[in-house]
Amino acid sequence: MGDVVIRELLEIDEFEEAYRLFDDIWHPAPHNPPVTVELMIGFAHTGNYVAGAYEAGRLVGASVGFRAADGALHSHVTGAVVGRGIGYALKSHQRDWCLARGLERITWTFDPLVRRNARFNLVKLGAMPEEYLENFYGDMTDAINEGDASDRLLAVWRITDPGRGEPPAGEVLLADEHGWPATKDARGDVVLVGTPPDVERLRREDPAAAKAWRLAVRDALGGSMKDGGRVVGLTDRGEYVVKRLN
């Protein structure tokens, strides 16, 4: 990470800088920013998590979270310059912040169709999805998500957990066939639910295929989790490994 420094934000101009960073990343509608300056001030003042990553004095990443009723820290929004390892550094700082305060879990939501985020969350961090949330945020109007339902997975990072082994092999339940989802007749206790290689590009180039993926993953992954299935890993091909109830 070189000269990147991560620290909690305390001053109004720092919160305003974080607000502008999030705006540059997501380009949200003016009435619907991911978090306002006022909320960041309130969160920080009441002992919640608001931190920024600085490189050569320039803000290159920020994260905002609040303590949840179940004793976890819920990481509401994290944004960073892509491809520099800053997101991982922010998560590591968040983990240390929680451990220093006796918190053992960090939760956040992510789009199950965004394969790179799934790999980062499940493989690099070791967090696991524990709930499928259908259209969780309602209609979104930012440049990345506009036109798509806001289905999310609730990731739970048990930060005192020593880690997980290799997930078991399973039968393919949902696969990619020429850019479109194809459901298979998988009857085993462990099934694989595929994802599109790049759903953000697919939304731009073939919205019908992107919508088909949304509904197929909602049915295959969301349905399995609703019936008691548990996500236990992610394959190198971007498939969720789901252990179903017998």
For residue 116, the domain's CATH number is 3.40.630.30
Q: State if pTM tops 0.85.
A: yes
Please tell me whether residues 143 and 178 are part of one structural domain: no
Considering the domain boundaries, does residue 164 fall inside one? no
Q: How far apart are CA 154 and CA 162, in angstroms?
A: 20
Distance of CA 137 to the CA centre of its chain: 14
Domain-terminating residue out of 158, 185, 217: 158
Q: State the Cα angle at 223 between 218 and 228, rounded to 5°.
A: 140
Mean of the pLDDT values across residues 223-229? 96
**DSSP assignment string, 142-173:** STTTTTS---EEEEEEETT-----PPPP-EEE
Counted domains in the chain: 2
Q: What is the pLDDT of residue 2?
A: 60
Considering the domain boundaries, does residue 163 fall inside one? no
Structure tokens at 208: 């019908």
Please tell me whether residues 135 and 63 are part of one structural domain: yes
Considering the domain boundaries, does residue 58 fall inside one? yes
Instruction: Kindly tell me if the per-residue pLDDT of 94 is higher than 80.
Output: yes
Residue pLDDT, tens place only, 116-168: 999 999 999 999 999 999 999 987 766 577 668 999 999 999 999 877 778 88
- Domain with 121, as residue range(s), is 4-158
Please tell me whether residues 139 and 17 are part of one structural domain: yes
The b-or-e profile of 41-52 (16+ CB within 10 A means b, else e) is bebbeeebbbbb
